[in-house]
Structures are given as C-alpha cells and as structure tokens.
Amino acid sequence: MAFKIAVAMFKGGASKTTVSLALAEAAAEAGLDVEAIDTDPMGGLTRWSLGAEEESRPLRMAVTGMPSAKQLSDRIASATSHRDLVVIDGPPPGALAIAKAAIEAADYVLLACPARPADQDSVPATLAAVREAGKPFNGVLTCARKTLLTDTGRIALHGMGVPLLKTELDLSDLVADNYLHRSRGPLRRFGIDLFDEISTKIG
Ligand SMILES: Nc1ncnc2c1ncn2[C@@H]1O[C@H](COP(=O)(O)OP(=O)(O)OP(=O)(O)O)[C@@H](O)[C@H]1O
Ligand SMILES: [Mg+2]
C-alpha cells in the first residue's frame, strides 16, 4: 500500500508543483516506486515529465494527469495498490473540489507556504481544510531568502499554527531552471533533505 502525500496551497504559484517534483524525485532516488499525480488542468507536471523524456533523461517517477475530483480518487486507489509512494500535486486556485479531494485522499499533507507574508493570504483557508479532513501536516517554506521579510514570514506562519519543517526551498533561478528537466542542483538537494525530514517524521 502506497503512502500518499498531498502538496497543497489554495494559491497560484506557491511552488506546489516544484515541491512535488523535488519530493517525488528524491523518493525515487532513494529506491521507492513513486507516482506523482498532476491535478492541474493545465498539466504543469505532465509537461515537465514530457520535457524530461524528450531530453532522454526521463523523470525518476511516473506522472499521471488527473484533473477531476472523481477520477482522482479512482486513480489514487489504483496507484496505491502497486506503488510505494504517491505524491499529489495540488491544483491552482479555481479548482477547490479537486484541491479538497487531494487533501482528503492523503495520509499526510505538505503545505507549500510562500515566505513573503504578502503571499500567505491563502494559508488559513488551506489549513482549515487540512484540519477539517483531520490529516497530519507540516508547512514547507518556499521562495525563502536570507532577509528580514522571510523571518517575518516564518513568524507569521508560526502564528497561524503551521508547524514548519526545517527544510526550506530557497528562491533561486537555479530552482526555476529545473523546469522540463530531472531535478538537479539545489532543487535536487532540497528534495533529498525534504524526503529525509518527512521520512523521519512519519516513520
Ligand atoms: N524557489 C524558487 N525559486 C525560483 N523560482 C521558483 C521557486 N519555486 C517556484 N518557482 C517558480 O515559480 C513559478 C510557480 O511555481 P510552481 O509552478 O511550482 O507553483 P504552483 O503552486 O504549482 O503554481 P500553480 O498554483 O499554478 O499550480 C514557476 O515558474 C517556478 O519555476
Ligand atoms: Mg502547480
């Protein structure tokens, strides 16, 4: 039976897809059989996977596109029967039903939390959905910088009741540059650290 992790945030551009990719790739590098489920109707993760295939360096995990809430639960049920880990990349805003279905289906939820306080407006609603579903969760800080604003963002998330992981995703062009490629450089390192930290937490 696969363990299921949903990467969630009811806000566009919170780094859900980037975090999902890094986590799934790291788990696959660690030897797990991983499936990533792309719930974005625009298929961002699916395109990423196709780009990597075209380069003859395919992603280390399978990617399935599944942009409907009903199909999502069917797909997850079938994936869990033969995978070790399923990572569900939550959709962009405007697809609330599937965003909630992804949380409902998960054993553990990772909240992709942008570091800047001005980008954290969707954290309370996402947190409420995760709490309502009764799922264990942590926050992962994304687009982090060594600035006072990032420190303020961490404090604000703490105030909202988000237990942040130690692993953070730094804001860097080297991260964005991974699009359509296997994870490498700082994104690969982030994924490995994230997978290690989550594995320790959930045992
Ligand atoms: N740490 C980072 N440093 C630099 N660029 C980043 C970082 N994280 C994400 N990005 C870039 O920001 C954009 C949005 O990231 P991503 O697609 O992962 O967000 P998302 O939450 O999945 O968005 P959506 O809600 O549209 O699905 C992408 O262009 C991505 O490359
Ligand atoms: Mg996305």
DSSP the chain: --EEEEEE-SSTTSSHHHHHHHHHHHHHHTT--EEEEE--TT-HHHHHHHHHHHTT---SSEEEE--SHHHHHHHHHHHHHH-SEEEEEPPPTT-HHHHHHHHHH-SEEEEEEESSGGG-TTHHHHHHHHHHHT--EEEEEESB-SSHHHHHHHHHHHHHT--B-S---B--HHHHTTTTS---HHHHHHHHHHHHHHHHHH-
The residue-averaged pLDDT of 167-193 equals: 97
Question: What's the domain count of the chain?
Answer: 1
CA distance 80 to 92: 24
The residue-averaged pLDDT of 146-170 equals: 98
Kindly report the backbone phi and psi dihedral angles of residue 89, in degrees, each rounded to the nearest multiple of 5, phi listed first: -85, 110
Name which of 58, 68, 69, 66 is nearest 86 in CA terms. Answer: 66
Instruction: Report the separation in Å between the CA atom of 142 and the middle of ligand 1, taken as the mean of its atom positions.
Output: 9
Instruction: Report the separation in Å between the CA atom of 7 and the middle of ligand 2, taken as the mean of its atom positions.
Output: 10
pLDDT band for position 194 (cuts 50, 70, 90): very high
Structural domain harbouring 30: 3-202
Give the residue, out of 9, 10, 11, 15, with the most ligand 1 atoms within 8 A of its beta carbon, to mutate for a pocket test.
15
Instruction: Check residue 67 and give its pLDDT.
Output: 61
CATH number at residue 101: 3.40.50.300
Ligand 1 atom with least separation from CA of 14: 21
pLDDT at 107 over 70: yes
Are 82 and 32 in contact, with CB atoms under 8 Å apart?
no
Ligand 1 atom with least separation from CA of 20: 18
pLDDT at 154 over 70: yes
Q: Whose CA is nearest to atom 9 of ligand 1?
A: 15
pLDDT at 47 over 70: yes
Write the pLDDT tens digit of every residue in 21-44. Answer: 999 999 999 999 999 999 999 999
Instruction: Check residue 66 and give its pLDDT.
Output: 80
Write the pLDDT tens digit of every residue in 110-127. Answer: 999 999 999 999 999 999
The ligand minimizing its distance to the Cα of 18 is 1
28 or 71, greater pLDDT: 28
CA distance 203 to 113: 23
Percent with pLDDT over 90 in the chain: 89
Q: Which two tokens stand for residue 104?
A: 């409902």
Name which of 17, 131, 24, 8 is nearest 84 in CA terms. Answer: 24
- Please, which residues bridge with residue 109 across strands? 6, 137
pLDDT band for position 185 (cuts 50, 70, 90): very high
